[in-house]
Chain A
Amino acid sequence: MAQARLARREHLTGWAFIAPALILLGLFMIYPIVWSLWMSFQVGKGMNLSFGGFANIERLTKDPVFLRALGNTFTFFIIQVPIMITLALLFAVALNDATLRFRGLFRTAIFLPCVASLIAYSTLFKSMFANDGVVNQALMALHVIGGPIAWFSDPFWAKVVVILAITWRWTGYNMVFYLAALQNIDRSIYEAARIDGVPAWARFRYLTIPMLKPVILFTTVISTIGTLQLFDEVYNFTAGTGGPSDSTLTLSLYIYNLTFKFMPSFGYSATVSWVIVVVVGILSLIQFLIARDRRSS
Chain B
Amino acid sequence: MVPVQWYVWLGLALFMVGVFGFLTRRSIIMMFLSIEIMLNAVNLLFVAFAHFLNDLRGHMMVIFIITVAAAEAAMGLAILVSVVRNRLSAHVDEIKQMKG
Verify that A and B bind, or say they do not. no
